[in-house]
Amino acid sequence: MFSNCSRQLTSQFSNHLKRLQSTLIIAEHDNKGLNPITQNALTAAKKIGGEISVLVAGTKCGPAAEALAKANGLSKILIAESDAFNGFTAESLTPLIISTQKQFNYTHIIAGASAFGKALLPRVAAKLDVSPVSDVIGIKSPDTFVRSIYAGNAIQTMKANDPIKIISVRGTSFEADKLEGGSAKTETVPTDGCATDMTVFVGQQLSKSDRPELTSAKVVVSGGRGLKSGDNFKLLYDLADKLNAAVGASRAAVDAGFVPNDLQVGQTGKIVAPDLYIAVGISGAIQHLAGMKDSKTIVAINKDPEAPIFQVADYGLVADLFKAVPELTSKLS
Ligand SMILES: Cc1cc2nc3c(=O)[nH]c(=O)nc-3n(C[C@H](O)[C@H](O)[C@H](O)COP(=O)(O)OP(=O)(O)OC[C@H]3O[C@@H](n4cnc5c(N)ncnc54)[C@H](O)[C@@H]3O)c2cc1C
């Protein structure tokens, strides 16, 4: 009898806790559409539990909000439109997030661990006087998070005791929410006090490519110093064309000027986790592995049988890349 009663109390208490828990996701978008990392952040928020709202701040950001409203499990989409959010600067968005937080008292604020989230969340956390928890790769409970440290060489499980948890999540660690089955209501939030002359957005030049985006591509072909020159990267572009793949690079290849630095994969580059990662002429330094070792299948082509990349590779080919890559490309239809 006693144990039945205590079980009932425990379940009532946890339901009550769930109700008290509420998460605000900061949507990353370009007004016209969502950046996929927002869908990963949504999955992470669902793992935390409780009510979930999403803040979509921008200029004419209706289409991005509409895409989100299709997701199931959302309580509300908060829309904030102002010219102040042109360029999505951390300086203009922080006052908005703080005032939204004051209004709704969220227990968790989440964004993707992208350049956007990395610029924004530390500022928000400082204003709220709490510690941000960055680059989360797993959620154990509403206050206990898993993150990788030392360039991915150790996994840390940590408990955050701050009353408001500010979390950036690694996109590749959470499935993208399918954005279907829901019809969340929208609400406009005030944007007073967001305009700032501290930082003025002047413009941006985005690199254009017909290839899939590196961080969301299903297949990535990456080249390293072994390619020897930028011209030789053509071998990888030809292979990537056959596989509908994105092209990446090691830092050594970027530093040598073979390819632009937005192709860099690794600790100080992009984190990728495609279905297939083909590393060509890359030795497998820990800083490179930090950016790709969660890939589902890793193929390495290297002429040195002792190269560390073979320790993480599912399939390894000890060969001269200048022979092996054209041969591989020619065999693919
Ligand atoms: C703080 C810090 C951050 C860093 N961040 C990053 C990062 O984000 N990303 C990153 O990649 N690195 C990063 N690095 C650099 C990293 O330590 C390595 O120096 C770099 O990854 C090496 O690149 P690589 O494998 O292309 O070159 P190398 O280590 O020189 O390897 C070249 C490989 O090519 C092979 N090869 C040569 N010729 C051929 C051929 N004909 N056929 C087949 N194989 C061939 C060789 O056997 C060799 O294994 C960082 C370093 C530091 C200190």
Q: What does the alpha-carbon distance between residue 86 and residue 294 come to, in Å, rounded to a whole number?
A: 34
Asked if residue 10 belongs to a domain, the reply is no
pTM of the model: 0.84
The residue type found at 289 is: L
Ligand 1 pocket mutation, candidates 150, 250, 255, 304, criterion most atoms within 8 A of CB: 250
Is residue 170 located within the same domain as residue 235? no
Asked if residue 55 belongs to a domain, the reply is yes
Asked if residue 205 belongs to a domain, the reply is no
Q: CATH no. for residue 166? A: 3.40.50.620
Q: CATH no. for residue 322? A: 3.40.50.1220
- Answer yes or no: is pLDDT of 6 > 60: no
| Of 333 and 58, the one with more pLDDT | 58
| Of 57 and 6, the one with more pLDDT | 57
- Answer yes or no: is pLDDT of 195 > 60: yes
User: What mean pLDDT is predicted for residues 100-117?
Assistant: 96
- Answer yes or no: is pLDDT of 144 > 70: yes
| Nearest-atom index, ligand 1, CA of 281 | 34
Is residue 122 located within the same domain as residue 161? yes
In order, the DSSP letters of 112-132 are ESSHHHHHHHHHHHHHHT--E
User: What mean pLDDT is predicted for residues 275-290?
Assistant: 97
Is residue 146 located within the same domain as residue 251? no
Sheet architecture: strand order including 144-149: 154-159, 144-149, 132-141, 165-169, 108-112, 22-26, 51-58, 76-81, 185-188
- Per-residue tokens: 4: 């039945």
Is residue 250 located within the same domain as residue 132? no
Is residue 184 located within the same domain as residue 222? no
**Residue 87 structural domain:** 16-188
- Answer yes or no: is pLDDT of 18 > 80: no
How many distinct structural domains can be found in the chain? Answer: 2
Q: What percent of the chain has pLDDT over 70?
A: 94
What is the pLDDT of the chain when averaged over all its residues?
93
Is residue 266 located within the same domain as residue 227? yes
Is residue 54 located within the same domain as residue 157? yes
Whether the CB of 292 sits within 6 Å of ligand 1: no
Q: How far is CA 242 from CA 46, 232, 260, in A?
A: 37, 17, 22
Asked if residue 229 belongs to a domain, the reply is yes
Q: pLDDT tens digits for 249-263?
A: 999 999 999 999 999
Q: pLDDT tens digits for 26-82?
A: 999 999 999 999 999 999 999 999 999 999 999 999 999 999 999 999 999 999 999
Reduced to 3 states, what is the DSSP secondary structure of residue 99?
A: helix
